[in-house]
Amino acid sequence: MRILLVEDNPADAELIRELLLEYPQHSFSVRHAGSLASALAALGDEGADLILLDLGLPDSQGTETVRAVRAAAQDAPIVVLTGLDDEDVGISMLQEGAQDYLAKGWMSGAVLVRSIRYAEERKRIEAELVRKNAELKAANEALAARKEELREREERLRRAQEIAHLGSWELADGRLSWSDEVYRIYGVRPQEFAATYGAYLESVHPEDRVRADAAYGDSVREGRAGYETEYRIVRRSDGAVRHVYERCTNLRDGTGRILRSEGIVHDITERKEHEDALLGMTRKLQRSNEDLERFAYVVSHDLQEPLRTVSSFAQLLERRYGEQLGPEAEEFIGFMTDGTARMSALITDLLEYSRISSRAQPFEAVDLGGAVETALENLAVRMEECGGRILCDPMPTVHADRMQMVRLAQNLLSNAIKFCPAGRAPIVKIRATRAGGDWLIRFEDNGIGIDAECCDQIFEVFQRLHDRSEYPGTGIGLAICRRIVERHGGRIWVEPAAGAGSAFCFTLPLQDRPTPSSSPD
Ligand code: ADP
């Protein structure tokens, strides 16, 4: 062990050196410095494993000496050499960083060696303590960081729950714990709420309490994994009735015994209110639709009667008095008969339009090819007259109202025949292709075509692009087509066909897809 002996008294220094040399087994090598300056120089040169330090040096005294040596040799233990009655000084030097002190007068070899060994051990323990302290500090800092992270996460969760009006709860061993948002939803403060299942049930609306209780109780008794339910609560803070949605998961051990139940509570009051308002409006709309349909039926039925009277008497007039009345009267009677026939057609078409939903049939599997054939049979005479041809590709089976599919095909085919220039035989190509989740059906004719800017308006009631003298009609046929297609969850439109003519296209959902309205709308 390399010992630096800092002592200005040569006799003391020699004595100490000799005492140390009595212990060859410790292999002490002793260097001597007589002043602070030479001690610091020796430490800078070679360092030391231990320093025996006299405090009163020619160039430094007391505390200053310890501090200076301490700073120059951080790792070496220091044993301070004091005068006989300087116990207090020795203790205060320990506070300055020395490991032990020895009164010079009492010094024996054994005492000196014991003090050196003690100082050495104490220095090692101090170093160990410093290291452990540093480790502890680092662990504490990591813990504080984790705590902060956890706090931030909890805060984020709390904010998310608040924004979504969604709280979470846990029930274990009869103790219920709620997140902040559940407290907010129920309008209670944590200190007011006895966190038990019974206290929770008290917040549920009296009319829904049995149901809410059964939802949980049944799921536990019947060994279910959880449940979903909706019920009303009475908010404690202001007595407001709120609607909540609750979803619970029961966690069980291997024997099926419940360990705990966890759940979420979602305040759905606003959504419920919107749904109720929407339901109210839908019911009102349904009622007004039914009223309108009844009105249309009564009006058309009652209007037909006087119309038939006018038409019959006009014909009688012509037959009995036609010759007496002359050609002009005959022409007028012709206008009358014509007018009543047109009005009768209008009323019939309007009635049909109003019945698309009121007289609708339930949806079934309908072969569209068969529907096209039936429509063609209904138009057989006109087809023969004009020499028209239908080229129909294989058609799919769809989920639809059979009669309405026939009506749809018949209206489109009838228009294709009607809106064909004189002298040209109408040709209609019918094709079906898949388009996403739909069938796309296309009726392409070689008729007069339609201006691009009129493509939308012709599907409105009474919208016609031609004069009746040119092409007869009521302007309701395509409006009926659109109502039928929309009732089946599809779309209808027209686009120019390649060459001349128009292509009427509509979509229908694939058969295995549910349709939006399979009941009257
Ligand atoms: P209507 O045939 O009784 O006039 P629609 O509602 O069936 O009534 O048709 C509306 C209008 O759309 C027709 O008056 C006509 O101008 C135009 N239209 C319908 N089908 C065709 C077609 N295939 N080619 C050209 N124009 C058509």
Check pocket membership of 496 for ligand 1, CB cut-off 6 A. no
pLDDT at 512: 57
Q: Which of 79, 14, 68 is nearest to 43 (CA)?
A: 68
pLDDT at 85: 66
Check pocket membership of 475 for ligand 1, CB cut-off 6 A. yes
pLDDT at 521: 38
d(CA 237, CA 344): 67
pLDDT at 208: 96
Q: How many DSSP H helices and E strands does the chain contain?
A: 13, 17
Q: What is the CA radius of gyration of the chain?
A: 52
d(CA 149, CA 161): 18
d(CA 330, CA 271): 68
pLDDT at 158: 81
The residue whose CA has the least distance to atom 23 of ligand 1 is: 416
Where do the H-state alpha helices sit in 35-86? 36-45, 62-72
d(CA 280, CA 283): 5
d(CA 492, CA 309): 39
pLDDT at 428: 96
Beta strands in 235-280 (DSSP E): 241-252, 258-267
Check pocket membership of 502 for ligand 1, CB cut-off 6 A. yes
Ligand 1 centre distance from Cα of residue 467 (Å): 11
pLDDT in tens, the chain (521 residues): 899 999 988 988 888 888 888 888 888 888 999 999 999 999 988 889 899 998 888 998 888 899 999 898 888 899 998 875 677 887 888 888 888 888 887 778 888 888 888 888 888 888 899 999 999 999 999 999 999 999 999 888 888 877 778 899 999 988 889 998 999 999 988 888 777 888 889 999 999 999 999 999 999 989 999 999 999 999 998 999 999 999 999 999 989 888 999 999 999 999 999 999 999 999 998 888 788 877 877 877 788 888 889 989 998 988 898 888 888 888 898 889 888 988 888 888 888 888 887 777 889 999 999 999 999 999 999 999 999 999 999 999 999 999 999 999 999 999 999 999 988 999 999 999 999 889 999 999 999 999 888 888 999 888 888 887 788 888 999 999 999 999 999 999 999 888 889 999 999 998 754 444 444 33
Check pocket membership of 448 for ligand 1, CB cut-off 6 A. yes
Q: Which pTM was predicted?
A: 0.54
Ligand 1 centre distance from Cα of residue 459 (Å): 9
Query: What is the DSSP annotation of 455-472?
Result: TTGGGSTT--SS-TTTS-
pLDDT at 520: 38
480 CA: nearest ligand 1 atom: 6
Ligand 1 centre distance from Cα of residue 355 (Å): 21
Check pocket membership of 419 for ligand 1, CB cut-off 6 A. yes
d(CA 28, CA 433): 104
pLDDT at 484: 95
Check pocket membership of 458 for ligand 1, CB cut-off 6 A. yes
Query: Pairing state of beta strands 78-82 and 50-54?
Result: parallel
The residue whose CA has the least distance to atom 12 of ligand 1 is: 458
466 CA: nearest ligand 1 atom: 16
Ligand 1 centre distance from Cα of residue 468 (Å): 11
For residues 122-152, one letter each, b for 16 or more C-beta atoms within 10 angstroms of the residue's C-beta and e for the rest, the string is: bbeeeeeeeeeeeeeeeeeeeeeeeeeeeee
Tokens of 458: 């012709």
